[in-house]
Chain A
Amino acid sequence: MSEKKGWKSLDKGAVAYKSSRDYETGDWGVAQPKFNHEKCTKCTLCHFYCPEGAIRVRDDGYTEVDLRYCKGCGICAEECPAKCIEMVAKR
Chain B
Amino acid sequence: MSQITLKDMAAKPDLLCPGARLCAGCDESIIVRMVLKATRGPTIVTNATGCLEVATSIFPYTSWDLPWIHSAFENTAATASGIEAAYKAMRKRGEGPLAKYPQLDVIAFAGDGGTYDIGLQALSGAMERGHDFTYVLLDNEAYMNTGIQRSGGTPFTAATTTSPAGQVIPGKLEWKKPIDDIVIAHAIPFTATINAAWPLDVMKKARKAFEIEGPAFLHAITPCARGWRYPPEKTIAVSRLVVQTCVLPLYECRQEGGDVVYELSAPSLAVAKRPESKKPVEEYLQVQGRFRHLFRPERREDLLKAIQEGVDKRWSILLKKAGL
Name A residues whose Cβ lies closer than 8 Å to a Cβ of B: 2, 14, 16-25, 28-29, 43-45, 47-54, 57, 66, 68-69, 71-75, 77-79, 87
Contact = CB atoms under 8 A, between A and B. Distances in A.
B5 to A, nearest CB: 10
Contacts of B24: 28-29, 51, 71-73
A48 B61 contact: no
Dominant secondary structure at the A interface: loop
A49 B30 contact: yes
A22 B196 CA distance: 27
Contacts of A43: 6
Q: Which of B27, B61, B199: most chain A CB closer than 10 A? A: B61
Contacts of A79: 236-237
Contacts, number: 112
Interface in B1-47: 6-7, 9-11, 14, 16-22, 24-30, 33-34
B288 interface: no
B44 to A, nearest CB: 15
Interface of B: 6-7, 9-11, 14, 16-22, 24-30, 33-34, 56-57, 59-63, 65, 196, 199, 231-237
A78 B233 contact: yes
5 contacts: A48-B34, A51-B22, A53-B14, A74-B231, A87-B233
Given A19-B62, A71-B24, A75-B25, 18 more contacts: A16-B62, A18-B61, A19-B61, A20-B63, A22-B19, A23-B21, A23-B61, A28-B24, A45-B199, A48-B10, A50-B30, A54-B18, A66-B18, A69-B18, A69-B19, A75-B236, A77-B233, A79-B236
